[in-house]
Amino acid sequence: MIATADRLGNVQEYYFSQKLRQIAELNAQGYDILNLGIGSPDRAPESRVIQTLHESALKGNAHGYQNYKGIPQLRKAFVDWYKNYFQVSLNPETEILPLIGSKEGIFHIAMTYLNPGDEVLVPNPGYPSYGATALLAGATVRSYDLLESRNWQPDLETLEKSDLSKVKMMWVNYPNMPTGAQADNAFFKKLIAFAEQNDILVCNDNPYAFILNDLPMSLLADGLNDHIIELNSLSKSHNMAGWRMGMVAATKTHIDNILRFKSNLDSGMFLPIQQAAVEALSLGAEWFTDLNKEYRERRKIAAEILDVLGCSFDQKQVGMFLWAKVPGQVAEVEPWVDDILLNAQVFLTPGFIFGSNGGRYIRISLCSTQEAFREALTRIKKHLGQ
């Protein structure tokens, strides 16, 4: 038997990869699982975006290798998007890099900057890929607490008092996933000052800025510097999760460094997808108004589900999930969620997968139809004898 590389030793299969396989097996056995766990938008992109993809794919010259930096029109479209919605000015030639999804970018950044012995500050709770990519790069994961009592923001003062001499990178994610917490300008200013003071590269993962959020924000709003990087994506904002279209914005030095790694890993994005993304990025505010109108209706029913389950949640949270605290009488969350899965045939995400501080929480995704939410509510009520 050929042994795997040591770098895989502390990295497990992604939770949702396992859970989707289990759900498929249950459905094959005759179950009809309603999946309210995964944040994969169920609606289509705008029709003009799909038409652009179709028309471009019919052209004979559209199917070859592409520039590793993306086509100029795409870089310009990302720059215009950031200017229009975040009031951030970027140079399309040097300060933006399109990616095959922002999850790819998380890995690129880790592999570009981390060495064995480096430490990476990772939020708890937080997106599991932040820690996994650090481990794959050979670095050490050092979690920092996000707590409901602090509106799910890090205690920078306490962190500053600790030994940060080996910390090279810090991941943040606002609007936050899984908690739905927002940041504000004052917090971002403190975060940037913390990064500069301690010579840490802070990376903000920002794919939820437009979902049920009236105030899109960027860590780059006060200008670029060598201590900050921001990732973004069209997966959630434009219903293009499967298209794998993301970006990283940073100083020219960072973009050049990340490109050195990226160019040895992939061969650029399919040209028709890039051209369709240009069309998507040109959509006006009415696109987001329509998108969020539907999410608000779904959220109302999701809130009813949480009420029936006895869960509590912050009404001010934003994004495409509801993050809720389970009732005190639930002794263990994982078997409770599994019971709902098997007996109500509804999948909800247990919060422990995002870290120990999520252990008493669950997450509901808003990426299902209103009909599916109503059916889930009916099933759960029946399961609970209501």
Structure confidence at residue 82 (pLDDT): 98
Nearest to 41 by CA among 315, 282, 320: 320
Mean pLDDT in each 10-residue stretch from start to end of the chain (386 residues)? Answer: 81 77 91 92 97 96 92 98 97 97 95 97 96 95 97 96 98 97 96 98 97 95 96 97 97 97 92 98 96 97 97 96 96 94 95 96 97 97 92
Q: Parallel, antiparallel, or unpaired for β 361-365 and 321-325? A: antiparallel
| Residue spans per domain, the chain | 6-44+286-383, 62-284
Structure confidence at residue 17 (pLDDT): 79
CA 260 to CA 115: how far, in whole Å?
16
Structure confidence at residue 12 (pLDDT): 73
CA distances from 172 to 144, 146, 291, 322 (A): 10, 10, 25, 19
Nearest to 83 by CA among 213, 228, 249: 249
In the sheet with 321-325, reading across from the earlier edge strand, the strands are 312-313, 321-325, 361-365, 349-350
| Residue 76 amino acid letter | K
Domain 62-284 has CATH 3.40.50.300: no
Q: Which fold has domain 6-44+286-383?
A: Aspartate Aminotransferase, domain 1 (3.90.1150)
